[in-house]
Amino acid sequence: MPDLLKQLKALADPSRIRIIRALSREPLHVSELLEVLDMGQSRVSRHLRILSDAAVLLWRRDGSRIYYGIHPELRTHSLWSVLGDEAASWNSSLQRILEEDRQRLQGILESRKERSLVHFEDFGARQDEDQREYVDAAYYRSKIIELLPGNAGQVLEPGCGAGALASMLADRASHLILVDQSRTMLDVARERIAAVGSDVKTEYRVGYMEHLPLADEEVDTVILSMALHHSAEPGSVLKEAFRVLRPGGLLVVAELKQHGEENMRRLFEDFWLGFDEGVLLGEIERAGFEGHDVSEGRGNGRLDCLFVSARKPARGRSRILRVRAGESSAV
């Protein structure tokens, strides 16, 4: 458990408050933080080290970049009710600086979204062809199908792209909901599904994976097919998947295993260069899923893929307390 006194000491600096506020929405790599804070690298690095040592921040190396984000345990601590509060009262000088930081941060986040949207508007329909050297799309989609039950019920695919997977789900889904940030991609998906003659009821909804345009407990199955590595906040995507799934519902994730192909950021707007298996499973468990099953493979591609299936606990499932070495945990 983090040392609360050490955390309080780490927080007692206006520059570190600025860093925490800058990271409260999404992870940032060091160059982005420097741009938001308009501060020298050596100074920022010193503050980042202090905050990381106090378990206020968590960092992750991803290829040539190092990303910093808020430590997950801090977000559940009562401290976060103040640190994460946009309306928190700081002195007027710090408040002015935080507002300037917020405006610079907003510019960075909007630029991220714009680059992603433009990329998929322009190149999304030919993504499979462009990525063939790296990823075997036919292979990973066949593995996803294998993980689905004969009747997957109402199925949601966030980040559906051009609908290549959705067009294969006719005999597994009773109802399809496809979500994508790009209207162009949804139009391509609509045409693709019509071309295969599917009679499954299909809805097309514009939206982001981190804020799904669905009600709570609306679907039986969520499929995240090579989608998480495009999101700055994969944990938020998984929490949204948990929210929209009915109790006992199935989550299926196909993702790239962590790799070092830096050019995939530029070529395909990948945010993360895949995921370490432990990191991915940790995010899935933190979102509330249980009973995960994991496998991996690559087909004819150069990069390994991870495949995970897990369930949202059934409503009313008994919670058993186990006591180990004086500590209790709910399972």
Q: Is 311 left (phi over 0), alpha (psi -120 to 50) or beta?
A: beta
Check residue 291 and give its pLDDT.
92
The full set of domain ranges for the chain reads 4-123, 131-311
- pLDDT tens per residue, the chain (331 residues)? 678 899 999 999 999 999 999 999 999 999 999 999 999 999 999 999 999 999 999 999 999 999 999 998 999 888 898 888 888 888 999 999 999 999 999 999 999 888 888 887 777 667 778 888 999 999 999 999 999 999 999 999 999 999 999 999 988 999 999 999 999 999 999 999 999 988 899 999 999 999 999 999 999 999 999 999 999 999 999 999 999 999 999 999 999 999 999 999 989 999 999 999 999 999 999 999 999 999 999 999 999 999 999 999 998 653 432 233 333 333 2
Please give the biggest Cα pair distance in the chain: 63
* Vertex 28 angle, CA 117 and 54, to 5°: 155
**Nearest to 320, CA basis, from 312, 330, 310:** 330
**52-69 CB burial, b ≥16 within 10 A, e <16:** eebbbbbbeebbebebbb
| 3-state SS, residue 302 | coil
Q: Which amino acid is at 3?
A: D
pTM: 0.85
Q: In what order do the strands lie in the sheet with 201-206?
A: 201-206, 173-180, 153-158, 219-225, 245-256, 305-311, 290-297
Query: Residue 215: its pLDDT value, please?
Result: 98
E strand or H helix that includes residue 315: none
H/E stretch holding 137: helix 137-147
The total number of residues written for the chain in this structure: 331
In sequence order, what are the beta bridge partners of 306? Answer: 255, 296
Q: Which CATH class is domain 4-123?
A: mainly alpha
> Which residues share a beta bridge with 178?
157, 204
Q: For residues 59 and 303, what is the distance between their CA atoms, to the nearest angstrom?
A: 24
pLDDT at 321: 26
Nearest to 160 by CA among 136, 139, 141, 134: 141
Dihedral sign for Cα 311, 143, 153, 127, please: positive
What pLDDT score was predicted for residue 317?
Answer: 58
Please state which CATH class domain 131-311 belongs to: alpha beta
